[in-house]
Structure 1
Amino acid sequence: MTNENPNNDAAAAEKPAGARRRLKSRKMLFFLGLAAIVLAVVLGYPLYLGIMSHESTDDAFVEAHVVSMSPRVAGHVARVPVHDNQWVEKGELLVQVDPRTFEVALDIARARLQSAKAAMEEAEAEVAAARSLMAQRAAALSSNRAAMAQARAGVQEYTAGHDRDENDFKRMDEMVEAGAVSRQEYDHARAQAAVSRAKLQSAKKNIDTQSAQIRQAQASAQAAGDGLRQAQAAVEQRQAEAREAEAQVRQAELDLSYTRITAPCAGFVTKKSVEPGAYVQVGQKLLSVVSRDVWVVANFKETQISGMRPGQPVDIEVDAYPGVDIKGHVDSIQRGTGSRFTLLPPENATGNFIKVVQRVPVKIVLDRPNGEDGRLLAPGMSVIPRVNVAVQSDDNRSACAEQTRATAVQ
């Protein structure tokens, strides 16, 4: 008869139960590992796609149009009707310089202009008088020349009469000796010859007189011409003085207008450093006007821009508004690295060269106007842009531009 050990039976029964527990534990670990792998794939694949299709940088800041306002004339400040961070419209008064000094200067310039115009009118009247005198002298010269022509014609006439009478007298002289003519006829011929001779001499003296009168008339006409030219020169001088006076009036008007410093564009008043009563110099910075229109300048590494194109969409995360993504698009890429446009560009041709990855500024424009969603961006804010470089077509840029224009019109 065989004796059975109860301890051996219990050990044999425990072995299958332990194997089942180990098998169950392995299955559970397998399923947990599989679930972890699936979860890692589900969660990691979008992250992988995002890393492969997006480029981002934390070297990015908000930029805007910042206009520094400074006076163009020196003087005391009369009033400053704005305060820091105030919104102003284009053309709104920012600073008023005391205009009284410039108003007086304008009055003086206008008085000088009136005096110059009066002097010019007087000079023009002198020119008219000189022209009238010259016309009179020219008429007198023409009259003297006509008289000279008449005198010469008279000389010719008297010469012919004198020759005739002389010939008649000579014939009478021959005939009187022969007794062919009477003594009375002879005396008459001699008297007639003497009269013709006297008339011829008088006509010749008249020519001399007319010549002297012509010379005098020519001298008078030349003097009148010189006077006319002098008067015309005086008119030109007065006209130049009048133009100079007009320029001084315009300059005085400009100086007076410069006493009103107005906003060149709509924006916010920033860094106001002027108060009423202060004396300001030309070019002194008084305040700045920051436009509402902003954009982002992101300095990407040169190894990141190979796939960037204008128009690609950008998600912008602003440090001031965590958890909020602002939509934008790439506007342009600067043609040159940031170091190339510094004040002192590096000279790599001298000394030892160490290669450093350069940064290229990329301009990113917002798709919606700044502050439309209640989140106002200011220049200098830090942002983190993520550019979707998977979009290679410029069609998206056109769509973004159209959307921006449509939003601006609304």
Structure 2
Amino acid sequence: MLARATRHIATLFAVALGIAGVVAVLYAWKLPPFTSTMKVTEDAYVRGRVTTLAPQLAGQIAEVAVTDFQPVHAGDVLVRIDDDIYRQRLAQAEATLAERRAALAGNKQDRIVAEAKIRSADAGVASAEATLKVAEANLGRIDKLQSRGVATKREADEQGLARDQARATRDQAKAEADQARQNLAAIATNRRSLEAEVANAQASVRLAQIDLDNTVITAPVNGRLGEVSARVGQYVTSGTRLTTLVAEDIWVVANFKETQVGGMTPGLPVSFTVDALGDAELSGTIERFSPATGSEFSVLSSSNATGNFIKVAQRLPVRIAIDPGQPLAERLAPGMSVVARVDTAHPARSDVAGAAPRTVAAADAPLPNP
């Protein structure tokens, strides 16, 4: 009798233990009846714009105006590179530009002189034409007088020679006028070349000015510096890392499983805790979803077209905007680990940037429940 009771107790204990195991599994995997609208992920991090600052030219550092982790504003001077060489290059470029402009101004004067020579040559042609007409008229009169025996043959020959000389003078004047016009055309062609040289010299001046301006490295935006590696006297080249700048605007990227994003939509409230801040809870709002899962952006993409297949839930990055007015948010820094929680049963907010509008695009529409 006692043995039978012992067996019943053992059986009941085994059944209870089995039921407890099943319940534990259902609870751990959030399966019915333990499904919840609260979606949680520990695969989340604070993100921000971290910019590496480097020079665009080579030179020796003359001044380092900042220190590690210092807050800066846009336009603040961070590092100065010795600019003596670049000032001299700018002066050289400006001198070359002045020379090219002087040559262009001289070309203008040459054109004025060439036009005057054309007018003079045209006047010489007109004068030679008139002299030729007089010589031809005189020759005609001598021929008539010679036919009547009044003039001698010698006089007729002399007048014919005068006519030939006048014709040669006319031809020479025309040639000089053509040469003057060719000189004017050459001056016009040379002017285009001089204008191109002036434009090239102006570009050289601008480039030299840009190089001189680039000897001063300034903060592009408001933010805080990382470690400053620049040192006075250090020789740097283009691309040498001087420091990093972390901009003021930060956000959270939470990588939810694809089985968790059902029902999520832009504007949905998010609560999250940061490991560095202990149990303090902060709030945010879903801004937008990644256009693809994280595996699609990996360098080595996977292929499931061959062999056995085991379904693995992929993760979809979700960008979360941090609500303003939270004092602890000022202590957040890019890279901090976050635990994010989203209640898909909570109504989405429509008064924040990135919230779903009344007419929702397909990419921002609420994702269906799995």
TM-score, with structure 2 as normaliser: 0.78
3-state SS, counterpart of residue 251 of structure 2: strand
1:162 matched to which residue of 2? 144
Q: Which entry has the higher C-alpha Rg, 1 or 2?
A: 1
Q: 1:376 aligned to 306, 331, 343, which one?
A: 331
Classify 1:162/1:337 alpha carbon distance in 2 versus 1 (closer, same or farther; 3 Å): same
Listed one character per residue, the Cα deviations across residues 310-342 of structure 1 (whole Å, up to 9, x for unaligned) are 111111211122332212111000111111112
| One-letter amino acid of the structure 1 residue matched with residue 69 of structure 2 | N
Contact 2:274 2:338 in 1 (8 A): yes
Q: Given that residues 72 and 223 in structure 2 are in contact (C-alpha distance below 8 angstroms), is that contact kept between their aligned partners in structure 1?
A: yes
Look up the equivalent residue of 1:63 and give its one-letter code.
Answer: R
Partner of 1:340: 296
SS at match of 1:386: strand
**Counterpart position of 2:344:** 389
Q: Deviations over 1:210-249 (max 9, x none)?
A: 3312211121122222322333333333322222222111
Q: Which residue of 1 aligns with 2:226?
A: 270
SS, match of residue 57 in structure 1: strand
- Compared CA separation, residues 50 and 288, structure 1 to 2 (3 A): farther
* Match of residue 44 from structure 1: none
1:199 positional shift? 8.2
The one-letter code sitting in structure 2 at the alignment partner of 1:400 is: V
CA contact (8 A) 2:287 2:354 kept: no
User: Deviations along 1:77-102, whole A, 9 cap, x unmatched?
Assistant: 11111111110000001111111111
- Encode CA deviations 1:252-282: one digit per residue, 9 max, x unaligned: 1111100100000000000221111111110
Q: Give the aligned partner of residue 6 of structure 2.
A: none
Contact 2:125–2:173 (CA<8 Å) still a contact in 1?
A: yes
CA contact (8 A) 1:158 1:203 kept: no
Closer/same/farther in 2, CA of residues 277 and 219 from structure 1, 3 Å limit: same
Identical pairs, percent: 35
SS, match of residue 89 in structure 2 = helix
Change beyond 3 A, Cα 1:230–1:402? closer
Task: Give the alignment partner of residue 246 of structure 1, picking from 202, 220, 237.
Answer: 202
* Structure 1 residues 402 and 199: alpha-carbon distance in aligned structure 2, compared to 1, 3 A threshold: same
2:79 equivalent in structure 1: 95
Aligned-residue offset at 1:400: 2.5
Corresponding residue for 2:16?
none
Q: CA deviation at 1:374?
A: 6.5
Q: Secondary structure at the match of 2:331?
A: coil
Per the alignment, residue 211 of structure 2 pairs with 255
Instruction: Report the AA paired with residue 328 of structure 1.
Output: G
- Label 1:257 to 1:351 Cα distance change in 2 as closer, same or farther (>3 A): farther
Distance 1:58 1:205, change over 3 A: same
Question: Distance in 2 between the 1:155 and 1:361 partners?
Answer: 108
**Secondary structure at 2:352 match in 1:** helix
> Given the alignment of the two structures, is residue 225 of structure 1 paired with residue 181 of structure 2, yes or no?
yes
Matches within 5 A, 1:353-368: 353-368=309-324
Asked if 1:210 corresponds to 2:166, the answer is: yes
Q: Matches of 1:51 and 1:110 in 2, distance apart?
A: 76
Gapped runs of 5+ residues in structure 1?
1-47, 170-189, 404-410
TM-score, normalising length from structure 1? Answer: 0.71
Report the counterpart of residue 18 of structure 2 in structure 1: none
CA distance in 1, matches of 2:81, 2:33: 61
The structure where helix makes up a greater share of residues is: 1
Q: Partner residue of 1:142?
A: 126
Are 2:252 and 1:296 equivalent residues in the alignment? yes
